[in-house]
Copies of this chain bind each other. A is one copy, B any other.
Amino acid sequence: MPVGTQATVKAMSPAELLELDFHVILANTYHLHARPGDALIERCGGLHRFMDWPRAILTDSGGYQVFSLAKLRQVTAEGVAFQSPYDGSPTFLGPVEAMAIQRRLGSDIAMVFDECAPYPCSRDYACQAVERTLSWAAVCARQDRAPGQLVFGIVQGGVYADLRRECAERLAGIGFDGYAIGGVSVGEPDELILRGIADTAPWLPADRPRYLMGVGLLPQMAEAVALGVDMFDCVMPTRYARNGAALTRRGRYPVRAARYAEDLRPIEEGCGCYACRRFSRAYIRHLLNVDEILGVRLVTMHNLFRYAEYLREMRAAIAEGTFGAFLARVRADYRVIHEEHAEHEGKE
């Protein structure tokens, strides 16, 4: 049973997200279609009103969920017939359906319905997935939109540089409001993620946002920005928090670990988030250990604060022309983290 992003950023309230100054949140089209239903959300005045989010909402197309979660699927030119992972009922989702759902949700940015090929994947399969993605993208581009809604295309092509370039160029030929780099961070080694970005970004229009889907970790994001990426989405800060892992400038660590039982320092020294201003590792560790919701809330809050701050730092470095130095620092820190991590592991 999948539990996706259900019209909220997990454990957070919209007021808290505004305070962290996030500008766009992502909602999962397929999960909302299944529960509570896009028709219901439309009758409730659309997703912004439903979840009380006054800023931008990006909806994914449901393609990723269909290809990663659904069993017994049958792919045709019109879309995908599959068994609902929620209740086993027969379901059909294609470019027409995906755009109609996103229109009803009333998101600000809709994503085209694409085929996200797995890793590893043969060149033949990747090629077919690119062709289907392009033909579906053309169908999506012709559909009606919610007022003011933007539509982004998605580049596929697996690990094959020429397929990625072709996909990017033909999507640009159709013409979208922005372009996403898809089919990365689907299980391949880290270096292939960066290669996939490098094989895609140069062929995307320079005057449109480039959105890297499903990435990433803090150092990955800096590398991606260096390769020309403008936007990200990632479950890491919230998912790690639910597992009790704090993300910091110096890497991540498990707050539950016995060595923090009496540690009076905040999750991250010098951090200005509510969790770090008011609570010790010892207290948060205790909350996590006894399954108190506040424990997950505080770590989630910290992790998102760290991400927001990191993104602000990158924007400032770009504006000041010092992004090269920023990246060098991130790379050096990341090496230190790897060494520290190994050291901690040895200790326990």
Contact A286 B45 (CB under 8 A): no
Chain A contact residues, CB within 8 Å of chain B:
3, 6-8, 10-15, 35-36, 40, 43-45, 50-52, 261-262, 264, 274, 278-280, 282-283, 285-287, 289-294, 296-298
Residues of B within 8 A of A10 (CB): 292-294
Given A274-B15, A278-B52, also A7-B293 (CB < 8 A):
no
In the assembled complex, how far is the CB of residue A322 from the closest CB belonging to chain B, in whole angstroms?
A: 36
- Cα A15 to Cα B279 with chains together (Å): 12
Contact A44 B282 (CB under 8 A): yes
- Cα A26 to Cα B44 with chains together (Å): 39
Given A40-B282, A44-B264, also A12-B294 (CB < 8 A):
yes
Contact A44 B287 (CB under 8 A): no
- Cα A15 to Cα B43 with chains together (Å): 35
Q: Which of A262, A264, A293 has the most CB of B within 10 A?
A: A293
Given A280-B44, A283-B7, also A294-B36 (CB < 8 A):
no
Contact B44 A294 (CB under 8 A): no
Q: Among B11, B14, B51, B290, which residue has its beta carbon within 8 angstroms of that of A35? A: B290
**What is the chain B residue whose CB lies nearest that of A293?**
B11
Residues of B within 8 A of A15 (CB): 274, 278
